[in-house]
Amino acid sequence: MKILGIESSCDDTSVAIVNSKKQILSNERISQDEIHESYQGVVPELAARNHVFQIDRMAKKAFKMSGLSLNNIDIIAATAGPGLIGGLLVGLSFAKTLAQVKKLPFIAVNHLEGHVLTARLVSEIKFPYLVLLISGGHSNFYFLKNINDYAFMGGTLDDAVGEAFDKVGKALGLKFPGGPEVEQKALKGNEKAFIFPKPLLRKADTDLNLSFSGLKSHIIKLVKNNKSNLLSENFIEDISASFQKTISDILINKLERAIKYSNTKFPAYESVVVAGGVASNAYLRKNFIETITNSNKKPYIPPANLCTDNGAMIAWAGYERFKLGFESSLNFKALPRWPLEKGNFYE
Ligand code: KG4
Ligand code: ZN
């Protein structure tokens, strides 16, 4: 079976073709980083306009790269939420039109489901498993019992981790998005140069909530107060390294708690997955793998190019749903807010 996957929920337009044997036949993606660069953040209207411009180009490319045509496709899957309404509408309309014309099953996919199931596309992982999802819009712990049976365990009370990386990058005058830039600067910095706040670590062991806005604001203030130093490369590198270490310390502390909590609260599980754009950070990946292994669990983190937004993860999640008999009506609405744990509640 071949699944066409369409992702347009934020600032990447991506179209992919994946088959039921877990082969990614094409995964075409164009980012809008240059468009949003001067605003240092995603501008929804500009994002929507660009998705309109790019969606059929990406689809044509995905067919060309795979050597396939629409006649070879069995299922059409598209992100229906959460995300920016303009982009969601572009992807959904495109997907629904193809599905209707070709009389193919249409699957509305939760973007977060795409992220948390990607590990099953690239590895053999059985349910249940624990997931830490860290992206530009989300930073949450989930326990996945089966497809469409997801328990939310805790998450950020304010900013997502990726957002904190992006805002710190902006304060340091780095390119957008800040995540990969901060990671590069941190390579040369001293991670012990600054001591930053680590919120919510003194809470009870079962507290799996996160908070990054205080840390972000603390650093922005520090940078503003050090105007004279601002352009010093050392300063930027040291802040980047200290910030990245602080993020790592917070996430590792909470991940250890989440593993222990899941051991007592949920069915026996073997695997722990880290997913989402921030999981492409090599420094964090190394620390996650060490922590998960030390907790006697098997770590799975998708390759970096499948951690950030892409159509293949949507195609795969669509297939997983289809296999279990879920199919969406062509009336399925775009859902800018759609908690993962709600499953197909809206179908
Ligand atoms: O999953 P994703 O592509 O989009 C969302 O669903 O949000 O994640 C994008 C986020 C951005 O905030 C970006 O700065 C961050 O992931 N990111 C990183 C790295 N690569 C991407 N953060 C830290 N280190 C990285 N290497
Ligand atoms: Zn994402």
Q: Which atom of ligand 1 is nearest to the CA of 276?
A: 1
Q: What CATH number is associated with residue 239? A: 3.30.420.40
Does residue 81 belong to any structural domain of this protein? yes
| Among 341, 340, 201, CA closest to 257 | 201
Q: Is the CB of 169 under 6 A from ligand 1?
A: no
pLDDT of amino acid 236 = 95
Residue length of the chain: 347
pLDDT of amino acid 97 = 98
Looking at the predicted structure, is the pLDDT value of residue 229 above 60?
no
Average of per-residue pLDDT across 145-166: 97
The three-class DSSP label of residue 286 is: helix
Name the strands in the sheet holding 298-300, side by side, starting at the edge strand that comes first in the sequence. 149-155, 139-146, 129-134, 271-275, 298-300
What values do phi and psi take at 51, rounded to 5? -60, -40
pLDDT of amino acid 347 = 58
pLDDT of amino acid 38 = 86
Q: Is the CB of 11 under 6 A from ligand 1?
A: no
Can you give the residue range of the structural domain that contains 239?
Answer: 127-305
Q: Based on the number of CB atoms within 10 Å of its own CB, is 292 exposed (0-12), middle (13-18) or buried (19 or more)?
A: buried
pLDDT tens readout for residues 278-333 = 999 999 999 999 999 999 999 999 999 999 999 999 999 999 999 999 999 999 99
Same domain, 145 and 278: yes
Same domain, 254 and 320: no
pLDDT of amino acid 346 = 57
Average of per-residue pLDDT across 158-186: 96
Q: Is the CB of 83 under 6 A from ligand 1?
A: no
Q: What percent of the chain has pLDDT over 70?
A: 98
Q: How does residue 204 score in pLDDT terms, banded at 50, 70 and 90? A: confident
Does the pTM of the predicted model rise above 0.85? yes
Looking at the predicted structure, is the pLDDT value of residue 231 above 70?
no
Q: Whose CA is nearest to atom 10 of ligand 1?
A: 136
Bridge-partner residues for 19, per DSSP?
Answer: 2
pLDDT of amino acid 78 = 98
Same domain, 301 and 312: no
Same domain, 155 and 87: no
Same domain, 300 and 311: no
Q: Is the CB of 165 under 6 A from ligand 1?
A: yes
- Give the number of domains in the chain: 2
pLDDT tens readout for residues 106-120 = 999 999 999 999 999
Average of per-residue pLDDT across 203-207: 86
Q: How does residue 90 score in pLDDT terms, banded at 50, 70 and 90? A: very high
Residue 303's region, left for phi above 0, alpha for psi from -120 to 50, else beta, is: beta
CB atoms within 10 A of CB 325: 6
Q: Is the CB of 5 under 6 A from ligand 1?
A: no
Looking at the predicted structure, is the pLDDT value of residue 258 above 70?
yes
Same domain, 299 and 315: no
Same domain, 322 and 207: no
Does residue 122 belong to any structural domain of this protein? no
Does residue 121 belong to any structural domain of this protein? no
Looking at the predicted structure, is the pLDDT value of residue 167 above 60?
yes
Higher per-residue pLDDT: 231 or 301 = 301
Q: How does residue 344 score in pLDDT terms, banded at 50, 70 and 90? A: confident
Q: Which atom of ligand 1 is nearest to the CA of 137?
A: 7
pLDDT of amino acid 37 = 86
Same domain, 53 and 138: no
Q: Whose CA is nearest to atom 14 of ligand 1?
A: 179
Cα(169) to centroid of ligand 2, in Å? 19
**C-beta of residue 48 within 8 angstroms of C-beta of residue 9:** no
What is the H or E stretch that residue 55 is in? helix 44-66
Cα(138) to centroid of ligand 1, in Å? 10
Question: The tokens of 243 are what?
Answer: 């910030």
CA angle 162, 163, 168 (to 5 degrees): 100
Cα(179) to centroid of ligand 1, in Å? 6
Give the amino acid at 101: V
**C-beta of residue 78 within 8 angstroms of C-beta of residue 108:** yes
Same domain, 280 and 316: no
Average of per-residue pLDDT across 9-15: 96
pLDDT of amino acid 205 = 84
Average pLDDT value over all residues in the chain: 95
pLDDT tens readout for residues 34-86 = 888 888 789 999 999 999 999 999 999 999 999 999 999 999 999 999 999 99
